[in-house]
Amino acid sequence: MPSSPGSSSPSTDRQTDKRRDDAARAAWLYFIGGRTQDEIATQLDLSRQAVQRLVALAVSEKLIKFRLDHPIASCTELAASLAERHGLAFCDVTPSDPAAPGSTSGIAVAAAVRLQRLLASKAPMIVCVGTGRTLRAAVEELDTLDRPQHKVVSLVGAMAAGGQASPYDVVMRLGDKVAAQRYPMPAPVLTETVADREALQSQRAFTVLRELRDQARASFVGISEIGWQAPIQSDGFMTDSDISALIEAGAVGEITGWAFDAEGRPLDSPVNRRVASLPLEIPPQRLTVVVGGGPQKVAPLKAALRGKLMSALITDEATAKALVDQPGDIR
């Protein structure tokens, strides 16, 4: 696997553009026009496998998008059940791929649809986002838009302890996609000390973020378990000792860095006092959409639902089923 395919050639930009253009055209003819790759090859005067590569490129680069428009009965039922039981503004449930229970692609598409619908509006709007792989994937699924009147605001820092940016930073990419104004949070998830956090948060940038957050129309956040294999640890956002402190304090999950217990109560733990993210507040006028699914996320989601840490949920069928089937199960 080549490591940096784009950076080697200086004239890559124009080349790439042309290539993507061709890819889009080929994919259009293939999926929308319903032609075969051979026919497209003839029309575009390319070899068949060149067309095959273009189509594959268009799919992998998501120049072409697939959307399901049919209410699958069991998903609809699960969604309605969860929405009603937990007083959610909405709940979207996508089919699961039984062969890949951890896959987030369906959830990402569903989240993208919601985000898209929201951001398509021309009225200036502020949208807050957390971080994480699922949200990042959702942003990749978005159509490009041109909405410089919108603002996208980060609820949580994307820097790991070392100072390097997380590849799962969402604000910047979202800002790119919709050409909106971007407000990243220049902070790690956890500061070293409580004093550091206070110093950080008294900065001007944080005041701005807080003000924007208060006017936001919606927040889209991920959710994660707290544990030894959890992404928040393996991505270097929390140290081993943070994790063990949280586990001892009874943490089952976190949202934007804030750890909570099985009842969905934010923990009164020293670790939580070093969280640099904006506080978890769920005012009714702002939609707080939790996006996530997979077996590891069932317990955190259960807790977050009990603690009313969200006003909407986007998940997959298997997770929704688990949430509906044993809602009271505390582990």
Chain residues in the site for DNA (CB under 7 A)? 2, 4-5, 8-11, 15, 30, 36-38, 46-50, 52-53, 55-56
Residue of the chain from 55, 109, 180, 303 that contacts a copy of itself (CB under 8 A): 109
For residues 41 to 60, the per-residue mask of contacts with a copy of itself, x marking binding by CB under 8 A and - elsewhere, is --x--------------x--
- Spatial distance between the Cα atoms of 143 and 214, rounded to a whole number of angstroms: 27
Position 70 contacts a copy of itself (CB under 8 A): yes
CB burial string 53-75: b at 16+ within 10 A, e below: bbbebbbeeebbeeeeeeeeeeb
User: Which tokens sit at 294?
Assistant: 């997979």
Residues with Cβ < 8 Å from 171, sequence gap 6 or more?
A: 129, 152, 153, 154, 158, 182, 183, 184, 185
* Interacting partner of 90 out of DNA, a copy of itself, none (Cβ under 5 to 8 A depending on kind): none
Least Å distance, CB 106 to DNA, is 18
Q: What is the dihedral of CA 265, 287, 279, 162, to 10 degrees?
A: 110
229-248 binders of a copy of itself (CB under 8 A): none
Looking at beta carbons only, is 31 or 90 nearer to DNA?
A: 31
Q: 60: helix, coil or strand?
A: helix
Do residues 210 and 288 touch, judged by C-beta distance below 8 A? no
Separation CA 244–CA 181 (nearest Å): 38
Mapped onto helix, strand or coil, the DSSP state of residue 209 is helix
| Minimum CB distance to a copy of itself, residue 1 (Å) | 19
Nearer to a copy of itself, 113 or 278 (CB): 113
Residue 45, amino acid: D
For a copy of itself, the closer of residues 12 and 234 by Cβ is: 12
Residue 325 interacting entry, from DNA, a copy of itself, none, C-beta within 5 to 8 Å by type: none
Which of a copy of itself, DNA, none does residue 179 bind to, with CB < 5 to 8 Å depending on kind?
none
**CA 309 – CA 322 distance, rounded (Å):** 18
Between 225 and 317, CB nearer to a copy of itself: 317
62 binding a copy of itself? (CB under 8 A):
yes
Side chain identity at residue 244, one-letter code: S
Per CB under 8 A, the list member of 4, 7, 11, 144 interacting with a copy of itself is 144
The nearest distance, CB 187 to DNA, in angstroms, is 35
Residue 9 site contact among a copy of itself, DNA, none (CB < 5 to 8 Å, cut-off depends on kind):
DNA
Residues 266, 258 contacting (CB under 8 angstroms): yes
Rounded CA gap, 157 and 186, in Å?
6
With CB cut-offs between 5 and 8 Å by kind, which of DNA, a copy of itself, none does residue 25 bind?
a copy of itself
Interface with a copy of itself by CB under 8 A: which residues? 17, 20-21, 23-25, 27-29, 31-35, 39, 43, 58, 62-70, 72-74, 94-95, 97-100, 103, 105-106, 109, 117, 120-121, 143-144
